[in-house]
Structure 1
Amino acid sequence: MGDWEPMVRMPLRVRYHECDPQGIVFHANYLAYVDMASFELCAALFGSHAAMLERGVDLVVAEAGLRYLAPCRFDDELVVSLGVERVGTTSMVIGIRIHRGEQLVAEGANRYVWVRTVDYRPAPPPEDARELLLRAQPS
């Protein structure tokens, strides 16, 4: 899914309670992992999520999609990688790859919309963040 390079890589270890009765990570937890990594992306752009909010903008998920390629289990060590697929005026598509070692176990993309913190209406991102995202977008 795309030829983007990761902007962030977040390691994690699967916790027991994240698995279903089959012993496999419950599918919705992969999106929770992506959400955790999205805060790392905010840190890469602004220093922290709080610093982003202080600039008057926030990010909301408008669309989420993952393709599951291999099951993960308790105590697996994963790395969630996020990279820029496309930058729009008030939105962006962030590519997702989740690896266990060298094995790609899930991939997909989320579409995020930039919003103003005062009314949560769509707004362009700060120009410095937009420039970083544009540089990371595949040509």
Structure 2
Amino acid sequence: MSETFVHRLRVRYSECDQQGVVFNGQYLFYYDVAVTELMRARIGPYREIVERGFDIVVAEARLRFLNGARFDEELDIAMPIHHLGTTSMIIHPVFRVGDRMIADGEVRHVWVDPATLKKKPMSDELRLALSG
């Protein structure tokens, strides 16, 4: 697979809970931003991917929380693509603040036709862009 894409964002105050750390549900929102930016970096704007007749949906998501990111910290989200199947893609996101591991996990996506939302094999063009 290709070099791991990393997206950086800054934790906003409104994303933190009463303990002063990022609320656990927020990490899937962060992941969604990172996967959109991964697609932009490797393939192009997400809108253009959909216009080409492809979309992805999350089929399964698992996150493991190890630490808490806090307000105003810069959170790096590494997005290594672990698997490219015929209609699926698995990413193992790793969330870090500096050297401190915050969370990691596995997200399985399924490629679909945007009009019908039925599974659709990924094109060779998409596969090449995501693997190379």
User: What is the deviation of 1:86?
Assistant: 0.9
Q: Percent identity?
A: 42
Structure 2 residue runs without a partner (length 5+)? none
Over residues 64-101 of structure 1, what are the superposed CA-to-partner deviations in whole Å (9 max), with x where a residue is unaligned? Answer: 11111111111111111101111111001011011101
Which residue of the other structure, out of 61, 65, 75, is the alignment partner of 1:64?
61
User: Would you say how many aligned residue pairs link Structure 1 and Structure 2?
Assistant: 132
Question: Residue 38 of structure 2 aligns with which residue?
Answer: 41
Partner of 1:70, secondary structure, is coil
Secondary structure (helix, strand or coil) at the match of 2:119 reads coil
Runs of 5+ unmatched residues, structure 1: none
Q: Distance in 1 between matches of 2:39 and 2:68?
A: 28
Deviation at 1:102, TM superposition (A): 1.5
RMSD (Å), alpha carbons: 1.6
Question: Structure 1 segments of 4 or more deviating over 4 A?
Answer: none
User: Is contact 2:43–2:129 with CA below 8 Å preserved after alignment?
Assistant: no
Q: Aligned residue for 1:20? A: 17
Contact 2:9 2:75 in 1 (8 A): yes
**Given that residues 4 and 95 in structure 1 are in contact (C-alpha distance below 8 angstroms), is that contact kept between their aligned partners in structure 2?**
no
